[in-house]
Amino acid sequence: MGKRPGTTALGLGLDALSLAIADAGIDKSEIDGILTHPGTTSREGANHYLRLAEAAGIDPRYAGSKSMGGATAGALVQEAIMAIDAGLATTVACVFGDAALTGGQRFNSPNGDPGLSWGIWGMFGPQANSALGARRHMSLYGTTSEQLGAISVTFREHAQLSPDAVMYGKPISLEDHQSSRWVVEPFHLLDCCLISDGGVAIIVSSAERARDLAKPPVHVAGMGQGYTARKSEAEDWWYLPHQKAVLDEAWAMSGLGPSDIDVAELYDNFTFSVLLWLEHGGFVERGESGAFVAEGNLKLGSTLPTNTHGGSLSDAYMQGWTHIVEGVRQIRGEAGPRQVPGAETCLTTGRGMALNTANALVLTK
Amino acid sequence: MTYDKPLPDTSDGSAPFWEGCAQHELRIQECSACGHRRWPIGPVCTACLSPEHTWVTLPGTGEVWSWIVYHQSFNKAWEPDLPYNVALIKVDGAHTMISNLVDVEPDAVHVGQRVEVVFEDATDEISIPKFRPVS
Ligand SMILES: [Zn+2]
């Protein structure tokens, strides 16, 4: 991940697939399911799964592509679980690749968001939706830019423990956050995630099959997904009511709750996104998340170590895929200097589009 | 004077809305079967799926639900306006809509602020609804 000039979305996804196959200790011939997330620079559109499978030399029994922005990774893992549970596949590779930084990135281009007509009023780019939510949260609950900055600084501290992170070796202070330029107010530059090249692959199989693979299995104890498709017609769209439903579902399925979670990897396209996950997950009451993060509760060694890899703000922006990878590493005990000692439970979340899509996974040992 | 910012595509079913704007009226679709008002513009009622509807004129008042200020350019035509605001307005008798606040400094805006619609005549055919504080 990071800056990889000359690479392509397809090539990065295949590199990741190769690494994941080696990590699992399986043979490529065992993969009978291919689920993919076309990157913003992928050329294949809805046929992405076919091209990737062709390029990987795999004729799958089960396949498909989804584009749900930052919710795609979790949605594909959930679909893989359902396919395996239904007997349609045994070993499913979920793959993402994007040359978003050097391959002609589109995140900041005009009309790059699904609300094309909003350009009539000058509303462009991915920041706007979350910025509107942040402003209203600030107005209703007294949340401050400094509290958002505490999230940014904490995740950057965590990235200093991960040599693979894009922002490794580049610590920041709260003053740096406050003095970074405005992008879309109330978001400073350091409230916004990175734009990165990279690829990620996650291999899903049954708990039984995973038992004797090369690495200790990580189980999905609970999951949920949900959508607020309506935007302007849903007056609480800015607060993302579907995210609460997603987490309620994941808690119910897993039999666990917020107090049982050892480590959290929460989708952080912008700092504000983290506040809503904390409120929707029941880690804090509505409106109390700003104070919670400012108290340092997301730091390693504290109440709820969060985005231990640095998150999208400081590790790399892989549309939420690396949050699941980091969750797996934490549960396996592979996270090195940033390992949460004895971590046995992890919440991972993803969200995408114009705040519309969301899902969560509860990972356990 | 040419207007080079993005203009609406009125071929997508939104023409009656923009015809209302040209007359400086803010209109919304009201379902003839159940009375639900829907926004954004769509072919069927979001409550009961009936396609039958009328266009009703709203009073044009509302309140600021949220607002943001652009400092970075995402679109050439909007660049000269930087910094400019984008606001989410809760329209009385309807839902929320994206717009801009005019005749107000960013520091003077607050959530809950009462506003009223004004129309910017962009072209001969298109007038764009925006909102200004009610004094
Ligand atoms: Zn109806």
Rg (C-alpha) for chain A, rounded Å, is: 19
Indicate whether B135 pLDDT > 80: no
Per domain, the residue ranges of chain A are 9-103+194-364
For residue A145, the model assigns a pLDDT of 98
Q: Would the CB atoms of A124 and B75 count as touching at under 8 Å?
A: yes
Whether chain B has a CB inside 8 Å of the CB on A109: the answer is: yes
Shortest Cα–Cα distance, A142 to chain B (Å): 12
Q: Which SS3 state, helix, strand or coil, does residue A170 take?
A: coil
Neighbours of A82 (CB within 10 A): 14
- Say which range, A4-8, B3-7, B50-54, has the weakest mean pLDDT: A4-8
Q: Could you give the CA distance from residue A142 to residue A135 in angstroms, rounded to a whole number?
A: 10
Indicate whether B6 pLDDT > 60: yes
Neighbours of ion ligand 1 (CB under 5 A): B 31, 33-34, 36, 45, 47-48, 50
Give residue-wise pLDDT tens across range A128-137.
999 999 999 9
CATH topology for A9-103+194-364 is Peroxisomal Thiolase; Chain A, domain 1 (3.40.47)
For residue A103, the model assigns a pLDDT of 81
Residue whose pair of structure tokens reads 């979670």 in the numeric block: A261
* A139 contact partners, CB below 8 Å, separation of at least 6: B66, B110, B111, B112
For residue A116, the model assigns a pLDDT of 46
Rg (C-alpha) for chain B, rounded Å, is: 16
Nearest to A330, CA basis, from A307, A314, A355: A307
All residue ranges of chain A with pLDDT < 50 are 110-116
Interval between CA B35 and ligand 1 midpoint (Å): 6
Q: Could you give the CA distance from residue B120 to residue A134 in angstroms, rounded to a whole number?
A: 28
Return the HEC string of A305-324: CECCCCHHHHCCCCCCHHHH
- Which residues of chain A have a CB within 8 Å of the CB of B28? none
Give the N- to C-terminal CA distance of chain B in Å, as an integer: 31
* A301 contact partners, CB below 8 Å, separation of at least 6: none
Per domain, the residue ranges of chain B are 10-133
Beta bridge partners of A361: A223, A348
* A253 contact partners, CB below 8 Å, separation of at least 6: A221, A222, A223, A224, A362
> A208 vs B10, which has greater pLDDT?
A208
For residue A23, the model assigns a pLDDT of 96
Whether chain B has a CB inside 8 Å of the CB on A136: the answer is: yes
Whether chain B has a CB inside 8 Å of the CB on A237: the answer is: yes
For residue A108, the model assigns a pLDDT of 54
Q: Would the CB atoms of B88 and A181 count as touching at under 8 Å?
A: no
> Does residue A168 have an active-site annotation?
no
> Does residue A317 have an active-site annotation?
yes
Nearest to B37, CA basis, from B53, B25, B51: B53
Q: Would the CB atoms of B96 and A235 count as touching at under 8 Å?
A: yes
For residue A34, the model assigns a pLDDT of 98
Q: What is the DSSP letter of B57?
A: E
Interface test with A, best of B58, B68, B99 (most A CBs within 10 A): B68
For residue A162, the model assigns a pLDDT of 97
DSSP string of A138-157, one letter each residue: HHHH---HHHHHHHHHHHHH
Give residue-wise pLDDT tens across range A320-353.
999 999 999 999 999 999 999 999 999 999 999 9
For residue B119, the model assigns a pLDDT of 98
Contact assessment for residue A326 and residue A335, using Cβ atoms and an 8 Å cutoff: yes
Catalytic residue among A49, A62, A239, A317: A317
For residue B1, the model assigns a pLDDT of 64
Q: Could you give the CA distance from residue B60 to residue A243 in angstroms, rounded to a whole number?
A: 32
Contact assessment for residue A124 and residue A117, using Cβ atoms and an 8 Å cutoff: no
Nearest to A8, CA basis, from A102, A99, A96, A101: A99
Instruction: Please state which CATH number belongs to domain B10-133.
Output: 2.40.50.840
Distance of CA A167 to the CA centre of its chain: 17
* A6 contact partners, CB below 8 Å, separation of at least 6: A102
| pTM score, whole prediction | 0.95
Give residue-wise pLDDT tens across range B53-110.
999 999 999 999 999 999 999 999 999 999 999 999 999 999 999 999 999 998 899 9
Q: Could you give the CA distance from residue A4 to residue A9 in angstroms, rounded to a whole number?
A: 11
Among candidates B38, B65, B70 on the partner chain, residue whose Cβ is nearest the Cβ of A122:
B70
Nearest to B66, CA basis, from A139, A141, A353: A139
For residue A111, the model assigns a pLDDT of 39
Shortest Cα–Cα distance, A191 to chain B (Å): 14
